Chain A
Amino acid sequence: MPDLITGYRAPNGRTRGPNGHLLIGGKPVLEVDGLKTQFNTQDGTVHAVNGISFDLHEGEFLGVVGESGSGKSVSMMSLLKLIPMPPGEVVDGTVTFDEKDLLQIDVDTLRKVRGGEVGFIFQDPMTSLNPVLTIGNQITESLDLHTKLSKKEMNTRALELLELVGLPDAKQRLKSYPHELSGGMRQRVMIAMALACEPKVIIADEPTTALDVTIQAQIIEIVRDLRAKLGTALIWITHDLGVVAGLADRVLVMYAGRIVEEAPVRELYANPQHPYTQGLLASVPRLDQKGQALSSIEGQPPSMYSAPTSCSFAPRCPHAFERCWNELPEQRVRFPGHKSACFLDFENGEPIK
């Protein structure tokens, strides 16, 4: 049922995401169920991720939106145990990828998955590139680990990848060190590295946040282009509602370590069903609109030192009623492909039974 996944069917009958990406099939490549991550610190246990479940489908572009501390990065890094352990600990849940539970397999198998079948793009390319190795070296390193290519083939492939991400003078750049490149060029190199082993899934953690707006536009354009060419499934973590609007097929909204809303991109922006999403959308100023009053979400995000037993958003929610303070809302399907974790039905303004 592909149109249940995206909530959108292209007029020509082929299933496409709302941003035009071809959805190769409805089969999930990644299934996450009840993932819980916590950090045991001196001050107590930080409950960073409090039971999240979602699927990622083949060729899908999934946006993950949330503010700092919402657990968006920690949850995606937990999928491949890329959090410092200790103090971090994945305490519960399953992550099914390629018929394996990534949380149960041994380290060697996991290392084959990391950078091989699942690629990563990190926020700050300066700290995630090795300053003493050339660009060429760093790209071929992952090819060396994950493929059986000869040295010559690896170099050709590295060159091919740099050309693919639109790096000018690709041949020269293979011999450059990271400090010789600008921020935008470094991020292109990061993308090339993520693509090196033809992964099924790429996880991008705020890849454009450190970049200037004109450079961000360049990177977004490349990602769009590559998505159309390669059809890799992508998880794009961001705090910027503008960036995912133009890129994602489906969006997860996270708050206090839980997914509060999940919907196809157009549906989410047009018809948000969770008061946090509504507040977030209303508090973003828009470049194409004149200075209207900006509504803000009052209050602060909650402390993460205790596991939630009621709705974490209730203290800031304009609609909160008794049930919200006593019970943890589960995700409910509200419309096809559209889930929200709220006790209120915004269609009729009545509490949900």
Chain B
Amino acid sequence: MTDIAAGSTATAARKGEAILTVTDLKKHFPIMKGVFRKQVGAVRAVDGVTFDVYRGETLGLVGESGSGKSTTGRVILQLDKATSGSANYEGEELTTVSGNRMRELRKEMQMIFQDPHASLNPRMTVASIIGEPLVENSTMNKEDRRKRIDELLSLVGLDPTHANRYPHEFSGGQRQRIGIARAIALNPKFIVCDEPIAALDVSIQAQVVNLLKDLQEELELTYLFISHDLSMVRHIADRVAVMYLGNLVELAQVDELYDNPRHPYTQALNSAVPLPDPVLEATRQRVILEGDIPSPANPPPGCVFSTRCPISTEKCSAEVPVWRDLGDNHWVSCHFAEMT
């Protein structure tokens, strides 16, 4: 089944409609040189990605550093302006929407950042950090706001009596909870989680992930969960998209992607993750990729993965593979996906 339309409608019926549709989204950062700041090239951070996010699901977006996964999240939320392409949120085109309307929409679309040390203002109390979106975007009076802040703090598992403390008085995991409380303050529908657990210790990661899962159920949230940790994404996501050098290489239901990966890059990623099991590790066969990820300022012609791919042929360095549905909403961009 390579008919794109048929594939996506079948899934839409199965998983609820798309809350966000991203089509051929690009973000190129210009490289300037010389006294006149002439543009000499561009870093193709995101180079044409197409995917849907369905209501109520968690879409995992995985990739290595420099693959453009964070930029994708930021461009969707208009924190960076898109170079071209479209991001359609419930019928509204985000890339062209007016500033005022975007302010309205921000109530529904929030972000949780990676580093809880850098994303909380050290001079604001927890109450004012969490209360700020309420001041900006709602008509609540002081007393209601105070009540809502207490409610939010208990919701994320913090003690409401700590509302007047400052961020430095909290540990990393607790700070991330404050960031989560701020993100859900306005009852959003869609949250971009940009590596929310990468800066946390293993035992604290599990706490935060479980909290995110509980909140999703309780508040009917939709997540775009950006991460480099494939094991954690398998745990939390419903569907997973794999990014490489600004392009999506594969997108499928979570178990399908991990048990039956079609793209050689996904296969290599899967086999590179060490398992916490010495018995399995002793006999495990690995696909070790040669070399490093190429520079996004100068991506290879044809398939972006062709320089490191163990099965690449001449066709791969000449022709860009089509992003297509193999059936059952398993999307892949590899010339040989049908053969493996």
Residue B104 is within 8 A (CB to CB) of chain A in the complex: no
Q: How far is the CA of A284 from the CA of B206 in the complex (A)?
A: 7
Q: A239-B201, A285-B234 are in contact. Are A18 and B275 (CB under 8 A)?
A: no
Find chain A residues with CB under 8 A from B203 CB: 67, 279-280, 283, 296-297
Contact check: which of A213, A214, A245 meets B277 at CB < 8 Å? Answer: A245
Contact check: which of A212, A269, A295 meets B228 at CB < 8 Å? Answer: A212
Contact check: which of A168, A285, A287 meets B270 at CB < 8 Å? Answer: A287
Residue A184 is within 8 A (CB to CB) of chain B in the complex: yes
Contact check: which of A168, A269, A280, A287 meets B273 at CB < 8 Å? Answer: A287
Residue B122 is within 8 A (CB to CB) of chain A in the complex: no
Residue A217 is within 8 A (CB to CB) of chain B in the complex: yes
Find chain B residues with CB under 8 A from A245 CB: 274-278, 281
Of chain B, the residue at the smallest CB distance from A294 is B206
Of chain A, the residue at the smallest CB distance from B276 is A241
A-B interface contact total, Cβ < 8 Å: 136
Residue B73 is within 8 A (CB to CB) of chain A in the complex: no
Which applies to chain A's interface (DSSP): helix, strand, loop or mixed? loop
Residue A291 is within 8 A (CB to CB) of chain B in the complex: yes
Find chain A residues with CB under 8 A from B277 CB: 245, 269, 286
Residue A216 is within 8 A (CB to CB) of chain B in the complex: yes
B205 contacts A283, C-beta separation under 8 Å: yes
A287 contacts B231, C-beta separation under 8 Å: yes
Find chain A residues with CB under 8 A from B284 CB: 246
| B150-179 interface bits toward A, Cβ cutoff 8 Å, 1 = contact, 0 = none | 000000000000000000000101100000
How far, in Å, is B126 (CB) from chain A's closest CB? 16
Size class of A's contact patch? 35 or more
A residues 273-303 with Cβ under 8 Å of B? 279-281, 283-298, 300-301
Q: How far is the CA of A265 from the CA of B279 in the complex (A)?
A: 9
Residue B280 is within 8 A (CB to CB) of chain A in the complex: yes
Residue A309 is within 8 A (CB to CB) of chain B in the complex: no
How far, in Å, is B278 (CB) from chain A's closest CB? 5
Find chain A residues with CB under 8 A from B173 CB: 300
Residue A243 is within 8 A (CB to CB) of chain B in the complex: yes
Number of residues in B with C-beta < 8 Å to the partner?
46
How far, in Å, is A303 (CB) from chain B's closest CB? 10
A213 contacts B228, C-beta separation under 8 Å: yes
Residue A215 is within 8 A (CB to CB) of chain B in the complex: yes
Q: How far is the CA of A284 from the CA of B291 in the complex (A)?
A: 29
Residue B218 is within 8 A (CB to CB) of chain A in the complex: no
B202 contacts A182, C-beta separation under 8 Å: no
B258 contacts A287, C-beta separation under 8 Å: yes
Of chain A, the residue at the smallest CB distance from B199 is A68
Residue B210 is within 8 A (CB to CB) of chain A in the complex: yes
Of chain A, the residue at the smallest CB distance from B255 is A290
Find chain A residues with CB under 8 A from B279 CB: 266, 269-270
How far, in Å, is A189 (CB) from chain B's closest CB? 14
Residue B209 is within 8 A (CB to CB) of chain A in the complex: yes
Residue B64 is within 8 A (CB to CB) of chain A in the complex: yes
Q: How far is the CA of A283 from the CA of B289 in the complex (A)?
A: 29
A218 contacts B288, C-beta separation under 8 Å: yes
Residue A220 is within 8 A (CB to CB) of chain B in the complex: yes
How far, in Å, is B308 (CB) from chain A's closest CB? 8
Find chain A residues with CB under 8 A from B76 CB: none
A286 contacts B210, C-beta separation under 8 Å: no
B residues 257-286 with Cβ under 8 Å of A? 258, 268-282, 284, 286
Q: A217-B288, A246-B284 are in contact. Are A286 and B275 (CB under 8 A)?
A: yes
Residue B254 is within 8 A (CB to CB) of chain A in the complex: yes
In the assembled complex, 5 residue pairs joining A and B whose CB atoms fall closer than 8 Å, in A order, are A213-B228, A239-B202, A241-B276, A284-B202, A287-B273
Closest 9 CB pairs of A and B: A246-B281, A242-B274, A296-B206, A217-B272, A283-B206, A285-B235, A212-B64, A297-B203, A67-B201
Taking beta carbons and an 8 Å cutoff, which residues of B are in contact with A?
A: 64-65, 171, 173-174, 201-207, 209-210, 228, 230-232, 234-236, 254-255, 258, 268-282, 284, 286, 288-289, 291-293
